[in-house]
Amino acid sequence: MKNLAVKEKVKQLIAQKAGVEPGEVQDDMFFEDDLNLGDMELTEILEELEDDLKLDLLADQEGLASVKDLLDLLEERLD
């Protein structure tokens, strides 16, 4: 991802919701299996990112299973 600040923001949000340190959040982690985040937490993450980045992300929530999926979506939308 070109914008490292955005990537760090995403990892901080995920870490906050998952109750882990941002450094523990890896790109290959799955929201539900690895981070114990359900649909509600993912929705909250997406809503905050939408507000910060002025993007529409909730429509693509179903296709997001991992941190990498979210980072790829953001990279696509921010280009």
Q: Could you tell me which residues come within 8 angstroms of residue 71 by beta carbon, excluding any fewer than 6 positions away?
A: 1, 7, 10, 27
- Does the pLDDT at position 4 exceed 90? no
pTM score of the predicted model = 0.91
The secondary element (H helix, E strand) that includes residue 30 is: none
Predicted confidence at residue 2, as pLDDT, reads: 55
Token couple for 33: 């299996």
pLDDT at site 1: 46
Architecture per CATH, domain 4-78, reads as Orthogonal Bundle (1.10)
| pLDDT, tens digit (0-9, with 9 covering 90-100), for 37-53 | 999 999 999 999 999 99
Q: What is the mean pLDDT of residues 63-79?
A: 93
Residue 37 near residue 18, CB atoms below 8 Å: yes
- The DSSP output letter for 26 is -
